Amino acid sequence: MLPWEILDLISVKASLPEQSNHRLRACCCRKTVVRVIDLCLLVKLLHLVSFKRSLSQTTKTTRKPYCGYKQQTLSKRDQAEQESLLAAIQWPKPPDGKIAFVQSTDPTHSDFVIVKPSGFFKVGDQLEVLVRMKDFQGKPKQYGGDYLQARIHSPLLKAGATGRIVDCQNGLYKVFFTLLWPGEVKVSVSLVHPSEAIQVLLRLREERPDRVYFKSSFKSGRYSETTECNVCLPGDLPVCNFTDLYTGEPWFCYKPRKLPCASRISHAKGGYQKGLLTQEESLFFQSDVNIKKPILSSGPDSVIVKPKVFTAEDPTVSPSGYYHEDQWRSRIHWIHHFNKSDDITKCLQGKVIHLFGDSTIRQWFEYLTAFVPDLVEFNLGSPKNVGPFMSVDLKHNILLKFRCHGPPIRFSTVFSSELRYIANELNGIVGGRNTVIAITIWSHFSTFPVEVYIRRLRNIRRSIIQLLDRSPKTLIIIRTANVQELGPEVSLFNSDWYSFQLDSVMRKMFSGIPVHFVDAWEMSLAHYLPHNLHPKEVIVKNQIDAFLSYVCPLQT
């Protein structure tokens, strides 16, 4: 009989009615009582032994949703921070009750107007735009909560910048742009999701964190099994507990029928759940109808901007930067454009560069390795597009490394021995003036409640602070999230709205500590190229320029 079955038996006996317990006690002889006592001692001993084992053991429990982190106890400070972060990203809700599709936001009927379109504008001025939302019947919306994206651009100049959107929560939105270059400047506004769709995305995030599922392979000799894995697994089947010993990051797999938990050899994305929406909800997610659909102007959609004598930039004013002639110009720090490979080699000479995160920062590894001739990739035998990867320039003493973050991660196959948490990796780095660390982590957390993401960032932040405490000269750079192409299915798993929420949390959690940001969000949104989860090379090049400008700042 297994320990949990013994405990179940004891609990069942304890729960019998008093009359039944009396009869049971009357029937028990002294020998039986002794056996029960021995049995209880055995159970306690087994419980103690199992507690001392590695966390990667089989347990049997009925798990409530999000069990992996709901069982974690937060300090008062962490709890207060979490509540503050969740409050900061709280999204306006439509009125209570079911809203028909025809009453939802229609970007075709909606419009925008430039406030004072004939006014005199000069570089540095603020441009205000008013967006008016209407439903499919042409009636003005009376509530907010739509998710919009907006930018100004000058196609001939290959210039662009993002705008700051204010929800008036009455169907009206104000968009504020800082005019950053002279000439004709056009305004573009798009509806990414109507407010009614956002409520569906909220429901899915809280109720269906299993809509992306994962799997692990277990192998011993010629025999192998594959089971499902996730932050939390429903039901009461035995599970393998792969919760990280140091960070406490939860991860579980259903236990194989015949193999031990220790026989796990790999992790992979399992797939995407279907049938997540009702028929009515699916109407809120239609390409060319209400997903990333342009909203047109009811009047002029551009203004003429006059030059202005140079004045110092105000870094507190949105946006963080802008494109001009396809080059990103940060308003926060000077950017040197590394157009020659020799310039990059000179910058990185004698340095070790660690890139941690997902495939969007893997693009940095791929760009640098391809662009710098002396930087040669060393074959580690890693799966394609997964890693870990390493490139070396022996002549100039440069080491460039990439490693993906720990689960959840939707890669094809990652060897279980290579599943590492960023926080743990940071704890193993000595650091110093020749150590550069770049981190991005966002896309693979979009299907989970935000608390899962907050926990991961809290662990990473703690390790960053400890690293900077022991090695203050270490340079740490955070690459933000970016926008991507969306369709009906992708929206349910990787919507820009999910990414925007996570990105907002990340910026708040890393503010106030000495790290630098590469604003991939604005760099992808402000550019004229179509949105892409993996931005095109011209955008990656600008990200690299921003990154290297922190490594080798211009001497002013």
Locate the DSSP E strands across 277-326. Answer: 293-295, 302-306, 321-324
Residues near 89 by beta carbon (within 8 Å), at least 6 away in sequence = 450, 501, 504, 505
Residues near 102 by beta carbon (within 8 Å), at least 6 away in sequence = 135, 136, 137
User: What count of residues does the chain have?
Assistant: 556
Q: What does the pLDDT look like over 41-54, one tens digit per residue?
A: 443 333 433 333 33
pLDDT of residue 526: 99
Q: Say if residue 37's pLDDT is above 90.
A: no
Q: Where are the alpha helices (DSSP H) in 71-172?
A: 76-88
* CATH 2.60.40.10 describes domain 101-200+283-306: yes
Q: Any idea of the CA torsion for 530, 535, 541, 546, to the nearest 10 degrees?
A: 100
Phi, psi dihedrals of residue 107, rounded to the nearest 5°: -65, -25
More confident of the two residues 361 and 29: 361
d(CA 45, CA 35): 15
Q: Say if residue 11's pLDDT is above 80.
A: no
d(CA 76, CA 406): 27
d(CA 196, CA 59): 41
What is the Cα gyration radius of the chain?
Answer: 28
Portion of the chain with pLDDT greater than 70, in percent: 85
Q: Say if residue 239's pLDDT is above 50.
A: yes
Q: What angle do CA 105, 111, 112 make, to 5 degrees?
A: 125
User: Average pLDDT in the 122-143 region?
Assistant: 98
Q: Is beta strand 302-306 parallel, antiparallel or unpaired with respect to 121-122?
A: parallel
d(CA 8, CA 355): 48
Residue reference for tokens 């100049």: 157
Q: Say if residue 85's pLDDT is above 70.
A: yes
Tokens of 83: 């509540």
DSSP string, 432-493: -TTEEEEE---GGGTTS-HHHHHHHHHHHHHHHHHHHHH-TT-EEEEE--------HHHHHH
Q: Say if residue 9's pLDDT is above 80.
A: no
Burial environment of residue 103 by CB neighbours within 10 A (0 to 12, 13 to 18, 19 or more): middle
| CB neighbour burial string for 235-244, b if at least 16 within 10 angstroms, e if fewer | eeeebbbbbb
What is the value of pTM for the model shown?
0.86
Q: Any idea of the CA torsion for 388, 502, 214, 70, to the nearest 10 degrees?
A: 120
More confident of the two residues 71 and 282: 282
pLDDT of residue 62: 36
Mean pLDDT of the chain: 89
pLDDT of residue 316: 60
Would you put residue 412 in left (φ > 0), alpha (ψ -120 to 50) or beta? alpha
Straight-line distance from the first to the last Cα atom of the chain, in angstroms, rounded to the nearest whole number: 75
pLDDT of residue 141: 98
Give CA separation, 11 vs 8, 130, 333, 383, in Å. Answer: 5, 65, 65, 49
Question: For the chain, how long is the longest CA-to-CA vector?
Answer: 100
User: Is the CB of residue 24 less than 8 Å from the CB of residue 16?
Assistant: yes
State the CATH class of domain 329-551.
Answer: alpha beta
Tokens of 262: 């220790």
Residue type, 242: F
Q: Say if residue 12's pLDDT is above 50.
A: no
| CB neighbour burial string for 417-437, b if at least 16 within 10 angstroms, e if fewer | ebbbbbbbbbeebebeebbbb
Q: Say if residue 14's pLDDT is above 60.
A: no
pLDDT of residue 477: 99
d(CA 392, CA 503): 32
pLDDT of residue 381: 85
Q: Which residues make beta-bridge pairs with 183?
A: 305
pLDDT of residue 56: 39
pLDDT of residue 364: 99
Domain boundaries, the chain: 1-52, 101-200+283-306, 329-551
CA 44 to mean position of chain CA atoms: 42
Q: What does the pLDDT look like over 95-112, one tens digit per residue?
A: 887 899 999 999 999 999
Residue reference for tokens 């692990």: 216
d(CA 554, CA 545): 12
Q: What does the pLDDT look like over 160-214, one tens digit per residue?
A: 999 999 999 999 999 999 999 999 999 999 999 999 999 999 999 999 999 999 9
pLDDT of residue 71: 62
pLDDT of residue 382: 82
d(CA 105, CA 197): 9
| 18-32, 307-321, 400-414, range with the lowest pLDDT | 18-32
Helix, strand or coil, per DSSP, at residue 183: strand
Q: Say if residue 55's pLDDT is above 60.
A: no
User: Is the CB of residue 384 less than 8 Å from the CB of residue 419?
Assistant: no
d(CA 181, CA 128): 16
Q: What does the pLDDT look like over 17-31, one tens digit per residue?
A: 333 444 333 333 444
Residue type, 348: L
pLDDT of residue 8: 37
User: Residue 523: which of 536, 503, 545, 542 has the closest Cα?
Assistant: 542
